[in-house]
C-alpha cells in the first residue's frame, strides 16, 4: 500500500514538470521596431512591415527547448530570424525583412514549437506603391469628348484638377477595378487653345502622376494679319473655315465700314468689307469686325487699320495695259487704285490690264516713301505730284 502511494505522487510531479517544460509565450510589451507595427494575441504575433523592409524584435519565454520554422520555405528568400532554436528561459527573436520590389503584398508564417505547444509570428509586408499612367498627354477637338485615363495602381488615390479648368469635369468610372477614371471635356467656346492638368496622388505614400489635357478651339477664321486700308477708301476681305456664308453672322463695330459682299472661294467663305475714305484731316483709325459662328457663342475678330492721309501721286494713262512707274526702296508698301474700280496692294513691277477704254487716272498711296524717281515713263502718262509729301 505504501508503494502505490509513492508512485502516484511521482506521477503528479512528472506531469507538473512536463507542463512547465512545454511553456512558451511572447512577453507582453517587449515588441521593438522602428519600421513595423504589431498586434499580439495569446498564440499569434502579427507584424506588418512597410515595402522598404526593416526588422522587429520580440522576447520569448520558453519552459523548454524550442525551434522555429517557416510554414512555406519560399518565404526565407525575403524573411529571416535571428535564431531558429533556443533553450529554456527568455530569449530575443528578431525578424528581418528585405525590401519588397513587387506591386503585390506578401506574407509569411513562422511557427515556434516547444513540445506540443505552438506560437505563430504572422509577417505581412506591404506592396511597393504603384502609380503608372499609360498615357500622359491628351488632345481634344473643340466639340469636347470623354476622357478615359487608364492607370495601374495599388493605392487609394486623390484626384486634383487644375484650378480654373472647369471645362474638365469628373465623371463616374466605368470600372473601378480596372482603374479607369473618366472625365468629361466640355465644348471649347473660346477663341484660343486651352490646357489643363489632372493629378492622381496618394499623400501617405508620396506618390503622384500627372495627365496633361489640351483642347483646340473652333477655327472660325482662316488666320490673317491686320487688314490695312488706304485713306482714300479700300475694300478688304477675310475668309472663314466653312464654305457656307450663312453659317456666319457679321457684326461691324463702326459706321465707316460696311459689308459689301460675300462669296465662296476654294471651299471657304469670303466676306468683303468696304472702308469709307478719310476726310482731309482724318488721322489713323482702327475698328473691329466680329464674326459669329452659328454654333458658337464666342465670336472671332478681325481688326481693320485705316491709315491717315499718306504721300501719294497720280497719273493719267490711255494705254490698255499699264505698269506702275518704278519706286525707290526695298519696302514697296502702299495702295494702288487703277481708275477702273480695281485696286491692289503696291508691289514691285505691278501692272494692270484694262477692259474699258481710257483715259484712266491711277492713284498711288505710299507708306514711308520720300523719293519717287519715275523711271521708264510710258507714252500717254501725265503725272500729278502735288500730294507727294506728308
Quickly state the pLDDT bin for 380 (edges 50, 70, 90). low
Q: Which one of 254, 282, 306 terminates a domain? A: 306
Provide DSSP, 302-360.
EEEEE--S--EEEEEE--SEEEPPB--SS---EEEE-SSS-EEE--TT-EEE-SS-S-E
Asked whether residue 36 falls in the same domain as residue 86, the answer is yes
CATH number of the domain to which 13 belongs: 2.60.40.10
Residue 209 lies in a domain: yes
Nearest to 132 by CA among 82, 67, 182, 179: 179
Residue 389 lies in a domain: no
Asked whether residue 31 falls in the same domain as residue 100, the answer is yes
Tell me the pLDDT tens digit for each residue of 209-223.
999 999 998 888 887
pLDDT of amino acid 178: 57
Asked whether residue 333 falls in the same domain as residue 292, the answer is no
Residue 95 burial by CB count (10 A; 0-12/13-18/19+): exposed, middle or buried?
buried
Q: Locate cell 484694262: which residue? A: 354
CA dist., res. 331 & res. 152, Å (int): 61
Tell me the pLDDT tens digit for each residue of 70-128.
999 899 999 999 999 999 999 999 999 999 988 888 999 999 999 889 999 999 998 88
Q: Report whether pLDDT(251) > 70.
A: yes
Q: Report whether pLDDT(294) > 90.
A: no
Residue 24 lies in a domain: yes
β-strand pairing of 334-337 with 360-366: antiparallel
Tell me the pLDDT tens digit for each residue of 59-85.
999 989 999 999 998 999 999 999 999
Residue with the larger pLDDT of the pair 379 and 333 = 333
Residue 221 lies in a domain: no
Tell me the pLDDT tens digit for each residue of 163-185.
999 999 988 654 444 578 899 99
Phi, psi of 365, rounded to the nearest 5 degrees: -105, 135
Q: Give the count of beta carbons closer than 10 Å to the beta carbon of residue 164.
A: 8
Quickly state the pLDDT bin for 15 (edges 50, 70, 90). very low
Residue with the larger pLDDT of the pair 217 and 205 = 217
Residue with the larger pLDDT of the pair 312 and 233 = 233
Q: Report whether pLDDT(14) > 60.
A: no
Domain hosting residue 7, numbered range: 2-125
Number of domains in the chain: 4
Quickly state the pLDDT bin for 346 (edges 50, 70, 90). confident
Tell me the pLDDT tens digit for each residue of 148-160.
998 888 788 889 9
**Whether the Cβ atoms of residue 127 and residue 156 lie closer than 8 Å to each other:** no
Q: Which one of 280, 306, 332 terminates a domain? A: 306
pLDDT of amino acid 385: 52
Asked whether residue 78 falls in the same domain as residue 116, the answer is yes
Asked whether residue 60 falls in the same domain as residue 28, the answer is yes
pTM of the model: 0.56
Q: Report whether pLDDT(17) > 50.
A: no
Amino acid at each position: 500500500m505504501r508503494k502505490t502511494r509513492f508512485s502516484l505522487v511521482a506521477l503528479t510531479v512528472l506531469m507538473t514538470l512536463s507542463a512547465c517544460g512545454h511553456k512558451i509565450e511572447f512577453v507582453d510589451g517587449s515588441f521593438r521596431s522602428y519600421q513595423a507595427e504589431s498586434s499580439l494575441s495569446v498564440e499569434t504575433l502579427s507584424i506588418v512591415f512597410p515595402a522598404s523592409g526593416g526588422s522587429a524584435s520580440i522576447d520569448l519565454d520558453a519552459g523548454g527547448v524550442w525551434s522555429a520554422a517557416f510554414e512555406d520555405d519560399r518565404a526565407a528568400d525575403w524573411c529571416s530570424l535571428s535564431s531558429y532554436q533556443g533553450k529554456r528561459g527568455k530569449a530575443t527573436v528578431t525578424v528581418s525583412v528585405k525590401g519588397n520590389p513587387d506591386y503585390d503584398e506578401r506574407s509569411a508564417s513562422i511557427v515556434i514549437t516547444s513540445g506540443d505547444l505552438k506560437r505563430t509570428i504572422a509577417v505581412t509586408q506591404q506592396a511597393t506603391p504603384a502609380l503608372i499612367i499609360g498615357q500622359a498627354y491628351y488632345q481634344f477637338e473643340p466639340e469636347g469628348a470623354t476622357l478615359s485615363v487608364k492607370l495601374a495602381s495599388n493605392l487609394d488615390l486623390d484626384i486634383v484638377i487644375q484650378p480654373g479648368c472647369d471645362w474638365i469635369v469628373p465623371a463616374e468610372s466605368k470600372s473601378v477595378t480596372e482603374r479607369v477614371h473618366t472625365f468629361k471635356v466640355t465644348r471649347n467656346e473660346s477663341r484660343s487653345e486651352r490646357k489643363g492638368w489632372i493629378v492622381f496622388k496618394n499623400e501617405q505614400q508620396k506618390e503622384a502622376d500627372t495627365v496633361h489635357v489640351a483642347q483646340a478651339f473652333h477655327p472660325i477664321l482662316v488666320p490673317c494679319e491686320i487688314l490695312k486700308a488706304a485713306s482714300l477708301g479700300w475694300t478688304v476681305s477675310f475668309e472663314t473655315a466653312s464654305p457656307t456664308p450663312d453659317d456666319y453672322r457679321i457684326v461691324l463695330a463702326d459706321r465707316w465700314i460696311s459689308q459689301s459682299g460675300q462669296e465662296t472661294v476654294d471651299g471657304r467663305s469670303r466676306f468683303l468689307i468696304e472702308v469709307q475714305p478719310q476726310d482731309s484731316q482724318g488721322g489713323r483709325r482702327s475698328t473691329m469686325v466680329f464674326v459669329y459662328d452659328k454654333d458658337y457663342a464666342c465670336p472671332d475678330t478681325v481688326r481693320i487699320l485705316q491709315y491717315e492721309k499718306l504721300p501719294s501721286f497720280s497719273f493719267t494713262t490711255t494705254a490698255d495695259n499699264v505698269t506702275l512707274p518704278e519706286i525707290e526702296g526695298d519696302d514697296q508698301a502702299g495702295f494702288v487704285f487703277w481708275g477702273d474700280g480695281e485696286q491692289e496692294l503696291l508691289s514691285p513691277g505691278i501692272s494692270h490690264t484694262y477692259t474699258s477704254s481710257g483715259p484712266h487716272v491711277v492713284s498711288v498711296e505710299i507708306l514711308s516713301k520720300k523719293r519717287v524717281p519715275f523711271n521708264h515713263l510710258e507714252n500717254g502718262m501725265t503725272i500729278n505730284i502735288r500730294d507727294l509729301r506728308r
